[in-house]
Amino acid sequence: MQESFPFDHVVITFPDTRAAEAARQGPFLHIRRKYPHTRLVATTDPHDARVGSGGGTLAALPAEGSTVLMLHAGGQSSRCPTQMVLGKAWTSLPTREHQLITPIEVWIQQCHDLFQGIPKGTLVVVSSDTLLQLPHSIRPQWSSYEGVLGLAVPAPLHTAQNHGVFSLSIQGNNHQHNGDDSEPFVASCQAIYQKPSLEVLETIAVRRHAWIDTGLIVFYPSVAQSLRRLAQSTLAACTASGLETLWKRESSGESLVHFARRAALPVDLYTHFLQAFRLKEGYSTMSEKKRRYCEKYRADGISLGTLASIFDTLHRHTLRVLAFPKGQFLHLGTTRELVEFYAMAHPLTREKRRKEDHLQLCASFCEHLGLTHRLHALTILPEGSDSDSNAVDPSAIIYHTIIESACEESFIGANTIIEHCSIETDHALRIGRNCLISGLRYSAKNSTGNGDIPFTVPDGTMIQTLPLRDNKGKTIQFVHMVLGIDDAIKHRRILYGLAFERFLSWAFLSDEDVWPDEETESKQTLWTAELHPMVESGLSCASVFSWLSAYSQGKKTSDLLDWEKVSLSRWKSCRRLSLAQIRDMADASKEFSYRQNLIGRDLPNAKRLLISNIRSALMNRELSPLNLQFILNDFAANGKFDDVQRVLLVLIEVISRSLRNEAYDICGQACAVSSSFFSDFSVIAPSCVQQLNETFGQVTWEGTSFLDIVRKVIEECDTIELSKDSFNVLSLSTVLEQVSFAMTRKCICDVASQWQLSSPSESIQDQWVLATAPARIDFAGGWSDTAPICYHGSSVVGAAVTLGDNVLPLSCRCRIVTGGRGVFLCTEQRNLVSGALETCTSQTLFCFNDLQDFRNPEASCALLKCALYTLGMMLPANNLEDLQFNTNVFQEALNSFCGSSKGDVMLEIVSTSLLPHGSGMGTSSILGGCVLAAILRCVGKDIIDTCDYQQYLIEHVFRLEQHLSTGGGFQDQVNGLVGGVKIVRCEPQTFPPRLNIEQLALPDDFEATINNRLHIAFTGQTRLAKNILQDVLRRWSKRTREITETVEKLILGAESVQEAFLDGDIETVADCVNDYWNLKKVMAGPASGVAPPQVENAIDKLMEKGLIAAASLCGAGGGGFLVALSTEGNVTKDELDAASNSQNGCNFVWHDCNICSQGLSVQVLDNNERDFFDIKWLKVGL
């Protein structure tokens, strides 16, 4: 059963009336809901006069007999300007309990637990701009004490020197803060010091620690009554009623407010009151102590009579100290201290830096309070060049914030704190490290003149935007408050982290421009400096401070960019306010309201809109970002499944609708997004995976659960088997990625071909049919041709090439052997120069079961098997599964396939590559075309029209690669099967993709110019393009702006290089090739291995030596062949070999390379031996 709240009244004092009014409309509502039976009172110094912490205590005292908790919310907080309007007691603290708390709320909860059993009528006063950590299990016996109790904890001397300190009388030093005895104890107090020097502290320290005054004072009922008596007599000028009485008595005609400010008596709780109480007996007589007391404090402007009365009233009560040896105290006095405290909310930062002495305490309090680094934060920035990276540093602390930036250059630096911000911009938002950003609010999307300039916040900068109001309480404008986090507010030495005088000189300002009303130099501080521009609602901080980064970097004023000059001019022309003026003009109510609306309305609406946009982008085939990282980040911080369920609902709706409408491209994209979402979820929130597993069965669309929708999709894919344990987050992610690939396959393979074969003619038996083809090199546009990327249109430029001594490196031989049975398959790897056999794999098929592994690119002779399947050599779907092993069924199908009606035949297929595996020159695709062409000619199936024949082969190679599960685009087969240099465009939203192939008519002699400067080298490294392809398609599925813009650049690059070829401009061709190589690296990401370091080093070396003007790894990259354009036509292979292989790890082998105007060709050979091979077959012109 929860214990009752021990206080009748909770009184919170505020620096001024505006802050109190704002609290009543904002945070008080939450406190009232939690403590409905306690009276909650917001007070200020009477008539906004300054009466000090002691006077404020007297002014706020409720009626006699009440048990009161009084929390002083702090004064002007000048050393921590972002907290000065609402007070440091209202500092936002994001917790793992999914809510924002404040020191006020922490103190109220702590006092609820700590003060159970407090005597009726006691007054507890707390300085709530601090935090206190006490052992949970310990509760003092409050009824055992009387008088006054100050609460103390041990603190290092460097901390104690900035606070009040108690000198305790501890017999024999038995109670030591770091000993085994952790029980609290009550001790007599020998002396009270305010900010003592280290020399003084040394005399009272215990093991380099002192007992620090935590600001919590307990006034038992008799003492509380004495305070009331002072408020009604000697210190009546500290209360509202007392000041009103004095004002009426004087009758000077002066307004009450002006009178109060003149006549109010400032009294300090921690000096004027505490020093008046009786301490340990025996040190001096009462009269001597009273004399010293009065002499000391008369300098504060208080009369001797008043001081004597305070002393006489309070000295009859004894002050003792309740010491907690295991307690801890934290005071966040400056912006730097606040930033360092927040930074420790991130577990990794806490673990990394907690050994630093000054941060140990921060780490302890962050853990104690359960602070988190993300809370209700919607931060959408483009991903960096690495798909696994994030533009937001993991150590950044972000809460109650919406940030959307479409610019790739945007980022948020390490240990930066961002709170209560709402920023939408199309432009760069670069926030450095160790910054504190509060309350920024503006939208600069599709705008001009407002936020249409980039904004770079230098490291260590503090920014806050606040609403202002006039004397009538109407909000008029906003102010952008900008300082360095280490700027000393009470001085004028430093501004923006650099010398103040330097800024004045840099900006061509004088003292009069900054302190127009200050005549004395002693008053010229940052507190009074008019530095902070007033702006109209919505005018971004960028518009008036974009020059700040240039200034911080030491750029001269004359060297500023145009938009930086405009920004500085705006800053100088704005009316500017000082911190002192901002404190008086800030609209605290408006700020509280803004923060409540941000979390209660704007953030939920923004998330719902973004999730809805995901649905729209998928259903309408838009190229909008589909990255759901913001949902995952928010979930990781707050643990709520609401938004995760909304995402699942959108995904199953899209999958279900698109499947029903046979929109397989949409279905595949939705499955890819789902796969990525689940994979990322398992990494970001591994402890919640089981909850997500359970959610799959709970989220339904039209009565069907997410899991049942997935089952339906899988039924549409004949290539995916679902095991019984597949329904968990990770395995479902894998399955859905497979489904997305299967949907791509359906878009390409399940649609009737545009090109029809002629009726079978007589097959060629007992003779080899040979199909040969050049390799290909790509100049621009690659990746745009890959499904599903090409669904949105594409353009690629490449060329057919021979290698070495004009050799066509790819071929296939096929023959029908009468009287034989089965299918003999063989794949050969031969030497490029001699044609000698290097490796060989063969397999003979006798039943359909032998053909079943055709989808596995690692299976024996997989390409050849897949070619047979693509051309229709398969078991009819209605046949029983046991027929898979029936050799007769297989042979009958083979005989029919080969056009043999008179007897059994054997089909022999031998593919030959003179290029190494993973060459990047389109080997598998072009070989696929050769295999299809050889088989078709051999079995008597043909298309008479050459153009149609090429299109048929290109389309069916596309299908073949989908069946083979290697995926890939169409540029390989186009550029290998069709001769010369060509541009190939794909019409958007055509299934299968409809291609427009245009062979480029090069200017006279330009092909010779290219051939003279064209070089190719095998890098010695091989890779499977499928692996890089998967990385690229995963990145594409998120539709990040970086990826979509890169695809657009790839297409534009193809159009540019086409023009260069037609113009005979080889230098522009070289530039385009270099751009293309860089775009390839962006598409795959640096973690993909697309650009091996030794290859990059070799390219750099070749360029440094002036040997080459351009270079790019062929195809997907990662190894294979490197194509290069030399700077001069007479660069030799020996020169290239010497330069490239001078790098460690490089083993380049350079070959001659020439544009080949001949594409695929098919002929019947005279030689009829299976194992015979002649390199002359593959040489152009022989």
Q: How many domains does the chain have?
A: 5
Whether 700 and 677 share a structural domain: yes
Whether 721 and 672 share a structural domain: yes
For residue 866, the domain's CATH number is 3.30.230.10
CA of residue 871 relative to chain centroid, distance:
48
Check: CB of residue 5 under 8 Å from CB of residue 37: yes
Answer yes or no: is 410 within a domain: yes
| Helix axes 664-684 and 629-638, enclosed angle (nearest 10) | 30
If DSSP states are collapsed to H, E and C, what string results for 1110-1133? EEEECCCCCCCEEEEEECCCCCCH
pLDDT value of residue 668: 93
Cα(680)–Cα(703) distance, integer angstroms:
27
Q: What is the DSSP string of 830-873?
A: E-TTT--EEEEEEEEE-SGGGGGGGG-TTSTTHHHHHHHHHTT-
For residue 1140, the domain's CATH number is 3.30.70.890
Answer yes or no: is 987 within a domain: no
Cα(714)–Cα(722) distance, integer angstroms:
8
Structural domain ending residue among the three candidates 532, 560, 586: 586
Cα(1133)–Cα(1153) distance, integer angstroms:
11
Contacts (Cβ under 8 Å, ≥6 apart) of 527: 78, 489, 490, 578, 579, 580
- pLDDT tens-digit profile of 146-181? 999 999 999 999 889 989 999 998 754 444 444 445
Whether 223 and 78 share a structural domain: yes
Tokens of 1150: 């350079």
Answer yes or no: is 763 within a domain: no
pTM of the full structure:
0.75
Check: CB of residue 741 under 8 Å from CB of residue 1013: no
Element (H or E) spanning 539, and its range?
A: none
Cα(390)–Cα(1043) distance, integer angstroms:
14
Check: CB of residue 1047 under 8 Å from CB of residue 1076: no
For strands 810-818 and 905-913, give the pairing: antiparallel
Q: What is the DSSP string of 94-148?
A: EBTTSSEE-HHHHHHHHHHHHTTTPPTT-EEEEETTEEEE--TT----GGG--SE
- Three-state DSSP at 480 gives strand
Whether 317 and 395 share a structural domain: no
Strands of 308-449 (E only): list them: 319-323, 328-331, 374-380, 397-405, 411-412, 417-419, 422-425, 429-431, 436-438, 441-444
Phi, psi angles (nearest 5°) of residue 1022: -120, 160
* The residue to which tokens 């796969």 are assigned: 675
pLDDT value of residue 779: 97
Tokens of 59: 């002014």
Nearest Cα to Cα of residue 785 among 796, 799, 774: 796
pLDDT value of residue 177: 45
Tokens of 182: 């952790």
- Three-state DSSP at 43 gives strand
Q: Calculate the dihedral angle through the C-alpha atoms of 1033, 1037, 1040, 1044, rounding to the nearest 10 degrees.
A: 60
Task: Tell me the CB-side half-sphere exposure of residue 988, using CA atoms within 13 A.
Answer: 7
Whether 817 and 841 share a structural domain: yes
- φ/ψ region of 822 (left if φ > 0, alpha if ψ in -120 to 50, else beta) reads left
Structural domain ending residue among the three candidates 556, 586, 616: 586
Check: CB of residue 908 under 8 Å from CB of residue 1170: yes
* The residue to which tokens 């430029």 are assigned: 797
- pLDDT tens-digit profile of 615-633? 999 999 998 888 787 788 7
Whether 859 and 910 share a structural domain: yes
Whether 916 and 1013 share a structural domain: no
Tokens of 969: 């685009």
Which portions of the chain are predicted below pLDDT 50?
172-180, 282-283, 384-389, 448-451, 724
Whether 316 and 397 share a structural domain: no
Whether 579 and 621 share a structural domain: no
Answer yes or no: is 336 within a domain: no
For strands 164-169 and 185-194, give the pairing: antiparallel
591, amino acid identity: E
Strands of 157-304 (E only): list them: 164-169, 185-194, 209-219
Cα(1178)–Cα(1182) distance, integer angstroms:
8
What's the domain range around 683?
Answer: 597-749
Whether 110 and 244 share a structural domain: yes
- 723 burial (CB, 10 Å; 0-12 / 13-18 / 19+) is exposed
Answer yes or no: is 984 within a domain: no
Whether 868 and 954 share a structural domain: yes
pLDDT value of residue 1: 52
pLDDT value of residue 116: 93
1044, amino acid identity: T
Nearest Cα to Cα of residue 1155 among 811, 771, 779: 779
Q: Is the dihedral of CA 763, 764, 766, 768 positive or negative?
A: negative
Answer yes or no: is 784 within a domain: no
pLDDT value of residue 879: 57
Whether 1062 and 1121 share a structural domain: yes
pLDDT value of residue 120: 95
Nearest Cα to Cα of residue 32 among 51, 18, 12, 48: 12
Answer yes or no: is 836 within a domain: yes
Contacts (Cβ under 8 Å, ≥6 apart) of 242: 231, 232, 235, 236
pLDDT value of residue 196: 93
For strands 532-535 and 475-484, give the pairing: antiparallel
Nearest Cα to Cα of residue 215 among 325, 335, 131: 131
Answer yes or no: is 1029 within a domain: yes
Tokens of 44: 């200020």
- Three-state DSSP at 300 gives helix
Strands of 990-1114 (E only): list them: 995-999, 1014-1018, 1108-1113
Give me the long-range contacts of 470-478 (CB less than 8 A, separation at least 24): 470/585, 475/587, 475/590, 477/534, 477/535, 477/536, 477/537, 478/534, 478/535, 478/536, 478/537, 478/539
Structural domain ending residue among the three candidates 586, 620, 653: 586
For strands 397-405 and 374-380, give the pairing: parallel
| Helix axes 642-660 and 706-715, enclosed angle (nearest 10) | 30
Check: CB of residue 209 under 8 Å from CB of residue 157: yes
* The residue to which tokens 């904890």 are assigned: 153
